[in-house]
Structure 1
């Protein structure tokens, strides 16, 4: 600590006091206490500023062992940090999802071109994003069939979300067209998921033909803009909600990734009826 300013300030006070005393005995002083203090303050101003303390560069050979010793003294520290980070990220993701759900609610649940099976006026809605070439989606079809069969008040919305291949996109285009006819879309849907090998345009057109539709007409209309717009709508919802795989379900305000099974879906549907949320406290 540089003590020079403090010392000079004290000197100024002493000089001013002494000079004040001497002025009492001098009829015509050449200066006074204020002038003395001004002179001292000028001296103070002319003193060089104290140098900032020098900080030595951190030597990794010294710092790294210190960090290691600290972490080793509490081996569970990183685990706690990881859990805290996961919790923070999960909360942030939930907040982003809720904002996106509010923004895209009509597109998710009330799109005019959406595929609806089950009870159109059901009291609970289950939305599924699927790809015809998704093995997990194929395995989950019986779960959905069971829920529809046992629950007459369940509304199911199917979102064509072809993300695995160009063949998936072609099949989805046919699927959109089938859903706009009087044909049994649910039968068409199950037929594609029960077919062998990769689901492509030919398989989709054949399944549509089995429902009494013209393959030629469907193939000619596959490239229509309104068909592409329907699929694009699924992409936009998925991007907003962070959906990257299939199947992905939406019930209420919850986005549920993966084929979680009929029992888990059934539980969430029951909770929606009980408390208006997929998780009841």
Structure 2
């Protein structure tokens, strides 16, 4: 009977179809799967022919299947690091509702023009949605001054003034020694304490951890986002953020 083994039979056939140009070990593994399903060689070939014909007539299922697989892999990667990703540095590197039902995580660079544009979208989001939490993670990849500003932001988090510095730094202009100092002064940072913290392994480790996580998430630039089980790269805009949040809420 051609459908012997049910879903496992189809899996075996698909395995042969997708891996027939691959290694001998892949083909052998698929044949073993077919045997385990109780399919003999004649039945296996019949199933392969049916599946091959269906795929040729409906090739759109291939990118659809790949997308589903990638989404599942992405969700698994996020779940494995969710605690690290969503926990704000020093407990203060966030804005919005600390107990929000959805956490939006933004990886950003103070030298990124799109990140500066996004700051307005985030401010509007937390003003209009009282049940969202936005966690900020420094990803200083554009220049050395990006790193300097990111370290000062972490120092501000240690002093409970993270979001004030974050907003002021973007409003002040691109990072330079003078603009970083001006933003720190404006929000009332203890500069001596900030500079002492910046020199610590804790500060440097936080930046490095963010970079490594971004690499695992395959982020290609800033801003990059993690919302629920989804990631996005780029300035998605206010409406884009709202859509990501809606999808995360629907999935909960």
1:147-186, aligned counterparts within 5 Å?
147-183=125-161, 185-186=162-163
What runs of 5+ residues in structure 1 fail to find an aligned partner? Answer: 1-79, 277-281
Q: TM-score, normalised by structure 2?
A: 0.70
The C-alpha deviation readout for 1:165-203, integer Å capped at 9, x for no partner, is 1110111000001011133x222111111223x313432
1:131 to 105, 109, 129: 109
Matched, 1:212 2:201: no
Q: Report what 1:191 is aligned to.
A: 168
The C-alpha deviation readout for 1:213-233, integer Å capped at 9, x for no partner, is 133432333221000111112
Cα RMSD, aligned residues only? 2.4
What runs of 5+ residues in structure 2 fail to find an aligned partner? Answer: 1-56
Q: Does the CA-based 8 Å contact 2:172-2:183 persist in structure 1?
A: no
Q: Report what 1:240 is aligned to.
A: 216
The C-alpha deviation readout for 1:72-94, integer Å capped at 9, x for no partner, is xxxxxxxx9x9787656645543
Q: TM-score, normalised by structure 1?
A: 0.63
Instruction: Give the Cα separation in 1 of the matches to 2:154 and 2:250.
Output: 34
Q: Does the CA-based 8 Å contact 1:117-1:186 persist in structure 2?
A: yes
1:104 to 52, 75, 81: 81
- How far residue 210 of structure 1 moved from its aligned partner, in angstroms, is 1.1
| Structure with the higher helix share, 1 or 2 | 2
Q: Report what 2:41 is aligned to.
A: none
Matched residues, number: 195
Larger radius of gyration: 1
Instruction: Give the Cα separation in 2 of the matches to 1:149 and 1:261.
Output: 15
Instruction: Give the Cα separation in 2 of the matches to 1:83 and 1:235.
Output: 35
The C-alpha deviation readout for 1:47-79, integer Å capped at 9, x for no partner, is xxxxxxxxxxxxxxxxxxxxxxxxxxxxxxxxx
The C-alpha deviation readout for 1:234-265, integer Å capped at 9, x for no partner, is 11211111112101111100001111110121
Instruction: Give the Cα separation in 1 of the matches to 2:66 and 2:60.
Output: 10
